[in-house]
Structure 1
Amino acid sequence: MAKYRASWRESILAPLNVVWRPHLLGILLFEAMLFGFGIGINTTNVVFLGTPPPAGYGFSQSAISGAYGTPIVATLIGELLGRYFNDWIMNISIRRNKGVFVAENRLWMCYVAIPLYICGFILLGASFEKHLSVGALVMGWGISSVAIMINTVAVYAYCNDCFPTKQGEISAWLNFARIVGGFGVAFFQVPWATRSGALEVFGVEAAIVVGLFLLVVPALQLKGALLRERFSL
């Protein structure tokens, strides 16, 4: 049965054969920054939460642990919203296209996620810099986490629809992009926030994500079908 299976060469080169496609590379960069800054929040917030006032909130270790229930709950909410709203948008788009499925319609959920992402990051940065209440901190953290999950669900669905026979490679590259884009943020985020203020840091990060969104998502919705046709596997 070996002749019916993929060769070693094909298996090893499959990830590289997928990642250079223009409609995948752009959305990977966008997702890497969006999800990566979210990971940066989770690794940086513990510093601000544990630092004594006026620089931080002066939480105990138990209080810091409890505060991390915020992204857990927000992730569950974002996963549910992302899934069902995504399916709802796709059903509407299929009816409007007279039964034709267009993968780029998955990206409409990104337009919902980005305003939430901006609000969450700005509110979180203002909470740390202006010493707002714990409620404001939780809301900013929660809103940004919901936005990240809504966008991630849409990106995963879009990439899998573009490469339905390469779902393993798609999952690997998306996870690689999120990890590379995220865990390096903690190395510069705390010194930058200490020097310039958390509001500037989170505001700049939100601006970077918005810039990538404007460069990538509308272009894919306009030219994605042509790119998929030209660079299909």
Structure 2
Amino acid sequence: MAKYRASWRESILAPLNLVWRPHLLGILTFEAMLFGFGIGVNTTNVVFLGTPPPLGYDFSPFAIAGAYGTPIVAVFLGELLGRYFNDWLMNISIRRNKGVFVAENRLWMCYVAIPLYTCGFVLLGASFEKHLSVGALVMGWGIAQVAIMINTVAVYAYCNDCFPTKQGEISALLNLARTLGGFGVSFFQVPWATRSGALEVFGVEAAIVVGLFVLVVPALQLKGALLREQFSM
């Protein structure tokens, strides 16, 4: 049965043969920054929470552990909202297209996620810099994480629809992009926030994501079908 299976050469080169496709590379870059800054928040907030005022909240280790229930709950909410809203939008678009499935319609959920993402990051930065209440901190953190999950579900669905026979490679490339985009953030986020304030840090990160969204998502919705036809596998 070996002749019916993919060769070692094909298996090894599949991710490299996939990643340069324009419609995939653009959405990977957007997702890397959006999810990456979210990872930066989760790894940096422990420093802010444990630092005495005026920079942080001077939480005890147990209080910090309890605060991290916020992203856990938000991830579950975002996963549920992302899945069912995505399917709902897809069903509407299929009916409007008279039964034709268009992968780019998955990206409409990004328009829902980006305003939430921006509000969450700005509120989180303001909470640390202005030392707002813990409720404001939890709301900003939770809203940002919900937005990240909603957007990630849409991006995963879009990429898998573009390359339905390469779902393993798509998952690997998306995870690589999210990892490369996020874990380096912690090394510069705390010194930057200490020097310039948390509001500037989280505001700039949100602005970068919004800029990438404006550059990538509308372009894919306009030219994505043409790119999929020209650069298909």
Instruction: Give TM-score scaled by structure 1 length.
Output: 1.00
Partner residue in 1 for 2:124: 124
In structure 1, what is the Cα distance between the partners aligned to 2:6 and 2:66?
A: 48
Partner residue in 2 for 1:63: 63
**Which consecutive unaligned segments of at least 5 residues does structure 1 have?**
none
Match runs of 1:34-183 below 5 Å: 34-183=34-183
Deviation at 1:52, TM superposition (A): 1.0
State the 4+ residue runs in structure 1 displaced beyond 2 angstroms: none
The total of aligned residue pairs comes to 233
Please, which moves more after superposition, 8-17 or 93-102?
Answer: 8-17
In structure 2, what is the Cα distance between the partners aligned to 1:132 and 1:48?
A: 13
State the one-letter code of the partner of 1:180. L
State the one-letter code of the partner of 2:165. T
Instruction: Give TM-score scaled by structure 2 length.
Output: 1.00
In structure 2, what is the Cα distance between the partners aligned to 1:120 and 1:171?
A: 27
- Deviations 1:189-219, CA, capped at 9 Å, x for gaps: 0000000000000000000000000000000
Deviation at 1:53, TM superposition (A): 1.6
State the one-letter code of the partner of 2:8. W
Deviation at 1:154, TM superposition (A): 0.1
- Deviations 1:144-181, CA, capped at 9 Å, x for gaps: 00000000000000000000000000000000000000
State the one-letter code of the partner of 1:145. Q
In structure 1, what is the Cα distance between the partners aligned to 2:75 and 2:174?
A: 17
In structure 1, what is the Cα distance between the partners aligned to 2:142 and 2:83?
A: 18
**Equivalent position SS for 1:177:** helix
State the one-letter code of the partner of 1:98. K
State the one-letter code of the partner of 1:221. Q
**CA-atom RMSD, angstroms?**
0.4
Partner residue in 2 for 1:215: 215
- Deviations 1:87-134, CA, capped at 9 Å, x for gaps: 000000000000000000000000000000000000000000000000
